[in-house]
Amino acid sequence: MKLPEEIHELILAKLAGEIDSEEEARLHAWLEENEWNQGAYQEFCSLWYAGKWGALRDSVNRDSGWEKVLRRRRYKYRNMWSRVAVAAVVVFVIGFVGWNWSKDEKVQVTEHISVWKNADIKLILSSGEEVNLKMVGKGEINDEGMVIRSDSAYLDYTGQTGIVMGYNELIVPKCGEYRLRLPDGSSVVLNAESKLRFPLNFTGEKREVFLDGEACFEIVKDSLRPFVVHTAKTDVRVLGTLFNVSAYPEEVRTEITLVNGAVQVNAADYQERLKPNQQFVLDNNTLQARVREVDARTYIAWTDGLFRFDAMPLEQLMSRLSRWFDVSYEFKDETLKKIRFTGGFRKYDDINDIMKMIGEITNVSFKMVDNKVVIDKK
């Protein structure tokens, strides 16, 4: 006996924290019908959480890699797929070392990625001059008399005296990631295919920056001068906190995720004040918004060299992979876009291994053709 497709979607919505009151009532009514429904629901949830929290354990052997994980889990996930078809959640770990790495190891991984991925990262000075940061390496950049320090993977705008006018823009292409310290000492990690425009010096009553793409911010507290992140659809007002903003123009939604502190989000007709482990989600097309509870650390894991995702549709996952690995993708079957994934892997894993792993535990086929991933049913 198979779960009805509508019930698949309701269970997924509940597990992902996206269910509304009407949908919850329908799911509850279905569960009350008989014991088989309750058992099927519990089995589905158990499988979900086994994969979700299994990715956090430090018992995965780093040297054995993803093939060992695959051997242990292949049969289980193939059977799950036959029961829940294309609406299923697939949980997996690819060569994953676990969230409980030592602090030193995490820093080493982060630095490795930053240095390796900075080939074409550009800094636009206030004069309009374009600087290739790879060519600068470890050294100094002068703009309007201001000295900007660089160590090939990091820009530092602190330590200046006086008022310096003008804006800089940091542009990170696909496959890239870069870090900078703003004039007030706040830290930013800019993700692949993102842009950040910011002043050489914060003056006035607000500290304002302009983001296109994704960035993680750790803001120095200043009660007299709030920090504001402007995106195409939202304004995020901060006093001092750690949060992530994902605002890629081509994606269907904008997400602001709060790790600690507090932020106020203004978007369309909405004004929301977030608490830690809350996420503001705005549909970029309809401008409808909601706030949901999340594990905020999942959404900043990329700053530590990890991809982590919770109930992420395959279409969104492919969009993120395409930025990091600089590949395009094409779905031959539109229904595959809705498959949701929970799991994680290291950002510097080989994309062919990642595609192979997903293909082994689902009925999805991935073929690389001229730097394009073609996605279809097997």
pLDDT in tens, 314-365: 898 899 899 989 899 999 998 888 887 777 778 877 888 888 877 776 778 9
Rounded Cα distance between 153 and 188, Å, is: 12
Asked if CATH classification 3.60.40.10 holds for the domain at 5-95+308-377, the reply, yes or no, is no
The structure tokens listed for 6 are: 């509508």
* Residue 348 three-state SS: coil
pLDDT digits (tens, 9 = 90+) for 100-149: 333 333 333 333 344 344 458 999 999 999 999 888 878 899 888 888 99
3-state SS class at 318:
helix
309, containing H or E segment: strand 306-313
pTM, to two decimals? 0.73
- Cα torsion 106, 308, 56, 107 to 10°: value is 0
Residues paired with 91 in a beta bridge: 342
Instruction: Please compute the mean of the pLDDT values over residues 194-217 and round it to a whole number.
Output: 95
8 Å CB contact between 170 and 156: no
CATH for 104-299 (3.40.50.970, 3.30.450.20, 2.60.120.1440, 3.10.180.10)? 2.60.120.1440
DSSP per residue over 158-217, as a string?
A: -S--S----EEEEEE-TT--EEEE-TTS-EEEE-SSEEEEEESS--SS-EEEEEEEEEEE
The per-residue DSSP string of 241-304 comes to -EEEEEE-TTSSEEEEEEEES-EEEEETTEEEEE-TTEEEEEETTT--EEEEE--GGGGGGGGG
Q: Where are the domains of the chain?
A: 5-95+308-377, 104-299
Q: Evaluate whether 5-95+308-377 and 104-299 have a shared fold.
A: no
Alpha-carbon distance 358 to 369, whole Å? Answer: 18
65 three-state secondary structure: helix
Q: Over the chain, what is the mean pLDDT?
A: 79
Nearest Cα neighbor of 190 from 118, 96, 94, 288 is: 118
Average pLDDT over residues 219-246: 93
Average pLDDT over residues 280-296: 92
Contact 304, 56 (CB under 8 A): no
